[in-house]
Amino acid sequence: MEPEITVGICVKNAQTTIKETVESVLAQDYQPNLMEIIVVDGNSSDATLSIIRNLISNTRIPCRMYSDGGKGLGYARQTVVNNARGEYVAFVDSDVVIRTDFLRRQFEFMEGNRRVGIGLGRYGYKEGNWLSNAWNLYHSTMQDFVGCAFICRCDAVRSVGGFDPKIKGAGEDVDLIARMQSKGWSTAMSKKAEFFHNYRATLRGFWSEHSWFGYGGYYLALKDQRLFSPSRNLPPGKLIHGLRTASNAYRTTRRKISFLIPPLLLFGNLAWWAGFLNAVLQRYGHKD
């Protein structure tokens, strides 16, 4: 029997979070014979792969492992799509934990909404330290799209040429969604499919992640400014957005940590522009 869902896990040096991620996938209430797992590694130099191999050694779910050869996230995502046998691919990032019913809920949602090409999961709040708490509160309040736990129709993805393999860093999800929507596919959230994010717990890690986003943002802007315009990411706008989100978060939760959201957004924005400038200097995305 062919699998209905291929779970794609793209990893690189994720030894601190990957155990929780894989365990949450293996604990799904979806039938094991209707699932498969494809792991694509980005030349990890830590214990990531050994942790994964140990976890999948006794599962009934078919598992395969590949390398992206250091080519980046766009290539890694497409490697999953190229090798998937399922009708759907559910991508679960290496710092994400999905609820036990996540795959079942996503499958039911996609089966009931045949024009949806990509089904997003819903952010759940997860306790951590002060930094990850504030950032989790921000995203659970916003429920904005981040491509860390979502499901897509394989045929729909393939029909638009798949993920852009030239995208080394962030932005591969935004690029794919734009091309799918141009072909008439919609994107929607499955509110019953909940996931949790293990956000960076140090300011250094937070800076590194947002710098990576900025690096990817340059590629998107260079490829097509309809995908992303850097002018939308200026500090004044981020501050206003942060104040509004903090107010909404506090009104909903009464947690004073809500008011860390504006300074964190500004700090992350500074990191974003540092990454953007780095991409400019490295001529990321320019043809030789």
End-of-domain residue from the set 180, 200, 220: 200
Tell me: do 272 and 184 sit in the same domain: no
pLDDT of residue 271: 97
Domain range enclosing 183: 1-200
Tell me: do 157 and 267 sit in the same domain: no
End-of-domain residue from the set 143, 169, 200: 200
pLDDT of residue 288: 45
Tell me: do 68 and 178 sit in the same domain: yes
Tell me: do 103 and 195 sit in the same domain: yes
Tell me: do 234 and 196 sit in the same domain: no
pLDDT of residue 169: 79
Collect all residues with Cβ–Cβ distance below 8 Å to 143 and sequence separation of at least 6. 122, 123, 189
Percentage of the chain exceeding pLDDT 70 = 98
Tell me: do 13 and 143 sit in the same domain: yes
pLDDT of residue 78: 97
End-of-domain residue from the set 134, 167, 200: 200
pLDDT tens, residue by residue, 201-226:
899 999 999 999 999 999 999 888 77
pLDDT tens, residue by residue, 110-155:
999 999 999 999 999 888 899 999 999 999 898 776 678 999 999 9
List, for the chain, all residue ranges whose pLDDT scores fall below the cut of 70.
Answer: 1, 145-146, 287-288
Tell me: do 212 and 152 sit in the same domain: no
Distance CA 163, CA 79 (A): 9
CATH of the domain at 152: 3.90.550.10
Which residues share a beta bridge with 66? 40
Burial class (CB in 10 A: 0-12, 13-18, 19+), 195: buried
User: Domains in the chain: how many in total?
Assistant: 2
Tell me: do 13 and 60 sit in the same domain: yes
pLDDT of residue 126: 86
Tell me: do 99 and 147 sit in the same domain: yes
Tell me: do 230 and 179 sit in the same domain: no
Tell me: do 161 and 277 sit in the same domain: no
pLDDT of residue 1: 64
Tell me: do 216 and 167 sit in the same domain: no
pLDDT of residue 37: 98
